[in-house]
């Protein structure tokens, strides 16, 4: 995709991105590290974090879709993924469908071609059916596991990096704010 598509970005967008999106991402990442640093983790805090990350994923996907198509009006993660795939070429989709490495050395691939991905289904179950039981007799509330939240957070990290790349590609200069966009969890 050509840079002209993203030409609507301006230098002030860098500061806005860092102060609005990236700092919130860092907050969520720090919450993850705090909640899961010492077992047992607080399930209520884990649920709150999972719901916050899922909401932010939806916001970032919609934002990216609107960058690519200012008339976009999709409502679901599947709509968002289809819109992105429709507009960008296959090579660029690989930027979303990538494997990320954690500082621990573990690698995970949060996005795949299943619709919706497993961690997103679990997120929706926690969000909409938390007092109901799954087929094993567990409350959906308990699906806010460290593994599901880690996958969701890694998916958000990829979206954050893609949004930042849109900004970088459309601007002629490197801004010092870009240097602040470093993860404490992902390499």
> Which of 182, 181, 169, 146 lies closest to 68, judged by CA?
169
- Classify residue 120: in a domain, yes or no: no
Tokens 């509330």 label which residue?
Answer: 141
Q: Out of 33-37, 40-44, 111-115, 176-180, pick the least confident.
A: 111-115
- Classify residue 133: in a domain, yes or no: no
* Mean pLDDT, rounded, for 15-28: 91
- Classify residue 49: in a domain, yes or no: yes
Residue 132 has pLDDT above 60, yes or no: yes
Residue 31 has pLDDT above 70, yes or no: yes
Q: Which of 29-43, 46-60, 75-89, 162-176 has the highest mean pLDDT?
A: 46-60
Residue 116 has pLDDT above 90, yes or no: no
- Classify residue 50: in a domain, yes or no: yes
Residue 77 has pLDDT above 80, yes or no: yes
Domain hosting residue 28, numbered range: 3-113+145-180
- Classify residue 150: in a domain, yes or no: yes
Question: In the chain, where do the E strands start and end?
Answer: 100-101, 107-108
Helix locations, 88-184, DSSP H: 90-96, 118-129, 146-170
- Classify residue 37: in a domain, yes or no: yes
Count of domains observed in the chain: 1
Distance CA 145, CA 139 (A): 12
Inter-residue contact 36 to 50 (CB < 8 Å): no
pTM attached to this predicted model: 0.90
- Classify residue 121: in a domain, yes or no: no
């Amino acid at each position: 995709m050509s840079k002209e598509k993203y030409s609507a970005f301006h230098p002030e967008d860098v500061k806005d991105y860092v102060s609005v999106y990236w700092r919130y991402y860092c907050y969520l990442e720090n919450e993850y590290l705090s909640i899961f640093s010492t077992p047992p983790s607080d399930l209520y805090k884990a649920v709150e974090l999972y719901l916050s990350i899922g909401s932010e994923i939806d916001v970032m996907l919609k934002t990216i879709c609107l960058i690519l198509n200012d008339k976009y009006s999709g409502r679901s993660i599947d709509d968002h993924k289809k819109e992105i795939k429709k507009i960008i070429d296959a090579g660029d989709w690989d930027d979303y469908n990538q494997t990320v490495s954690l500082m621990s050395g573990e690698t995970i691939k949060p996005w795949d071609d299943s619709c919706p991905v497993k961690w997103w289904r679990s997120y929706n179950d926690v969000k909409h059916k938390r007092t109901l039981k799954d087929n094993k007799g567990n409350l959906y509330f308990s699906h806010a596991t460290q593994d599901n939240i880690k996958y969701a957070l890694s998916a958000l990290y990829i979206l954050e990096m893609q949004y930042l790349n849109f900004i970088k590609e459309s601007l002629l200069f490197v801004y010092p704010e870009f240097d602040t966009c470093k993860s404490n969890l992902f390499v």
